Structure 1
Amino acid sequence: MEGATPIARTLEKLNLKESLNSIFTLDALLSILKLAGILVLGLIIVRIAVSLTKRLTRKTLSPRTSELLVKFVRYTGFFLIAVNLANAAGLDLSALLGAAGIAGIAIGFAAQTSISNLISGIFLLTEKAYAVGDVLDVGGGTVGVVDSIDMLSVKLKTFDNRLVRIPNETLVKSNITNVTRYPIRRLNINITITYGDDIEKARRVLMETADANPWILRYPAPIFIVDGFGESGINLFFGVWFAKDDFVDAKNSIHTEIKRRFDEEGIEFAFQTLTVYQKKG
């Protein structure tokens, strides 16, 4: 064209119209919509997963551990979105994934203990066997209050003010007793009286002692059992119930009162004795 401007002549030479038509095809538009759909849907799923993680860990884990787990879920979600976007765009990720796989195997061997503790922590989290503030007996004489629940371990604060760290893998393999899981507990008292004492009298005194104690619950009722005949006397079992927060007061007071009442009633505690018979002649 003679009257065309220099810009128009340049665009005509570059055949821009055909270039744009080749780029913005129907397939290209569908691919863009597909990528946008994957991105939006992925972000929604990640947001839901993060919200659920916060809700599940808010009351069971320490704030620091909860935040770490939330970040792990968020970044894992972002990584999966990126992989799906690259796959939908037709990018070849085989080399990258192969290198990542080799690196993952090497890291896995180096950190297998940490990974085991992490997986065990997830199992313990789903079981909800304990929470921060519960008193746990993990065996071996270790008893303490749960101070924090982390991704790799649980930390207990013992009653003599020591910090004990227990790996999650150890807890999964151990029998754990949650001492304060339920609002009330039973105090088991084993008593041995002499064979010369009256069992019914001992029972009456024990029941009266429990009934007069302000820390002992009336319901469930105390349990009295004649446990058997021992070498030194008659074995009695006496179980009383109390609120879990009253453990120290209940234990100290009931033992003190039993001793006082037995002394008043003339009931003797049996103790191991040795009788020697001398053969005549």
Structure 2
Amino acid sequence: MTEFFETYRSHIVYGIIVIAIVFVLLLLTNVISKWFLKKETENYSEVPIRPLKILKRTLNTLWLVLGVIALSFIFVDKEKDAANLKAYFQLASHLGIVAVATIVSATLVNLWFKRKIEEKIVYQYDPTSYKFLRYVAVFLIYFIGILFGLLAFPSLKGVAQTALGGAGVLAIIAGVASQEALSNLVGGVFIISFKPFKIGDVIKVTDTMVGTVTDITLRHTVIRNFENKMIVIPNAVINKERLINYDLGDPKCCEHIEMGISYDSNIELAKKILQEECEKHPLILDNRTEIDKKNGLPIVRTALTKINDSSLTIRAWAWSRNFSDSFSMKCDIFESTFKRYGESNIDLAYPTRTIYLANETKATVEEKSENK
């Protein structure tokens, strides 16, 4: 045994040193990460925990891989094998450094944009551009990190150098990404550039897609509908749609409140009741000009707009300060007008059908027709 230790003393000492170094690095990484997470969470509630945990796992994996490669030198005698292990050690080191630098850079950039967005919100500025640019910046950091990682592989080094040179970036993106992904990306750039809507605007894409814009990413736009459900719409799709932005320009909204009454109802009384219910609602907006007021025009105009097969449509043009007020006002007026119509003997329209049974005689049918 003594002869064995004397023969392989240098290898044993080398192995103990490598294991000790790896153990110390693992211990320091875990201790520092726990301390850092604790301090950051105490000072900044918005600190991103997930990237820090990923960074910790990456460093621990790097120390273990480098330690295993370093220990492998003990069992190698040939210079060629030693050169291969040295190449593997350099490759692992290169990938580890690139991964750590990429994660740290992306986290810092993300934090910077997040604080800028919060400042914009506090001072009531539009944060849409910063939110979109945050996704672009983080994407570019990870993209460049992947390219630097490819530099470590000789077979892919030419592709990475071409892309990092600048001319090949768009070519690689166009070659790898699908047409739909590119159209979504371009659509997001158009939305940020021309601003048909921004974060916080209430938009209507279709009758089933109405809500508040909560986020605009590289791929899609997210809106929260009034049922608190998140609707994810690809940017390419929303760019093709004719949408309504209730917060673009003047937020005032004219709501068409329609009631269907029967042919036998008093049209003038029905119009008057609907007008009164609209004008006494607390959310109604007087949109008349000074000339309209001098001419004695009412706040809410009502009219018979349509003669249907079995009903008459009475419409009121009711203005409100914004879309949210108009929806609440419309619901309240429907309810109050329905009650007033019932008290005033104004019948609401409903479809009617005349059914003749097959076994009825012709005389019976004619008799019923005469009675009518």
Q: TM-score, normalised by structure 1?
A: 0.62
Structure 2 residue identity aligned to 1:207? Q
Q: Is 1:261 aligned with 2:327?
A: no
Q: Is 1:234 aligned with 2:300?
A: no
In terms of fraction of residues, the more strand-rich structure is: 1
Q: CA deviation at 1:201?
A: 1.5
Query: Percent identity of the aligned residues?
Result: 24
Aligned partner of 2:78 in structure 1 is none
Q: CA deviation at 1:69?
A: 4.4
Corresponding residue to 2:228 among 151, 155, 161: 161
Name the SS for the 2:206 alignment partner. Answer: coil
Name the SS for the 2:342 alignment partner. Answer: helix
Are the counterparts in 1 of residues 278 and 318 from structure 2 also a CA contact under 8 Å?
Answer: yes
Q: TM-score, normalised by structure 2?
A: 0.48
Q: CA deviation at 1:171?
A: 1.2
1:233 & 1:65 partners in 2: Cα distance? 51
Q: Is 1:66 aligned with 2:66?
A: no
Aligned partner of 2:216 in structure 1 is 149
Structure 2 residue identity aligned to 1:121? G
In terms of fraction of residues, the more helix-rich structure is: 2
Q: How does 1:192-207 map to 2 (within 5 A)?
A: 192-207=260-275
Corresponding residue to 1:251 among 320, 330, 346: 330
Query: Which is worse superposed, 189-198 or 64-73?
Result: 64-73
In the TM superposition, structure 1's runs of 4+ consecutive aligned residues that sit over 4 Å from their partners are 68-74, 99-104
Q: CA deviation at 1:258?
A: 0.7
2:346 & 2:207 partners in 1: Cα distance? 36
Corresponding residue to 2:191 among 124, 136, 151: 124
1:153 & 1:226 partners in 2: Cα distance? 43
Distance change (3 Å), C-alpha of 1:266 and 1:103: closer
Name the SS for the 1:274 alignment partner. Answer: coil
Q: How does 1:72-91 map to 2 (within 5 A)?
A: none
Unmatched 5+ residue regions in structure 2? 1-115, 142-160, 289-298, 357-364
Q: CA deviation at 1:269?
A: 0.7
Aligned partner of 2:285 in structure 1 is 217
Structure 2 residue identity aligned to 1:179? Y
Are the counterparts in 1 of residues 256 and 315 from structure 2 also a CA contact under 8 Å?
Answer: yes
Aligned partner of 2:257 in structure 1 is 189
Q: How does 1:168-187 map to 2 (within 5 A)?
A: 168-181=235-248, 182-187=250-255
Name the SS for the 1:138 alignment partner. Answer: strand
Instruction: Report how many residues are paired.
Output: 207
Distance change (3 Å), C-alpha of 1:160 and 1:62: farther
2:327 & 2:206 partners in 1: Cα distance? 21
Q: CA deviation at 1:235?
A: 1.9
Unmatched 5+ residue regions in structure 1? 1-53, 75-94
Aligned partner of 1:32 in structure 2 is none
1:140 & 1:200 partners in 2: Cα distance? 32
Are the counterparts in 2 of residues 153 and 168 from structure 1 also a CA contact under 8 Å?
Answer: yes
Are the counterparts in 2 of residues 62 and 148 from structure 1 also a CA contact under 8 Å?
Answer: no
Aligned partner of 2:150 in structure 1 is none
1:144-165 per-residue CA deviation (whole Å, 9 max, x = no partner) reads 2111122332111122222222
Distance change (3 Å), C-alpha of 1:100 and 1:178: closer
Are the counterparts in 2 of residues 60 and 149 from structure 1 also a CA contact under 8 Å?
Answer: no
Structure 2 residue identity aligned to 1:61? T
Distance change (3 Å), C-alpha of 1:175 and 1:226: same
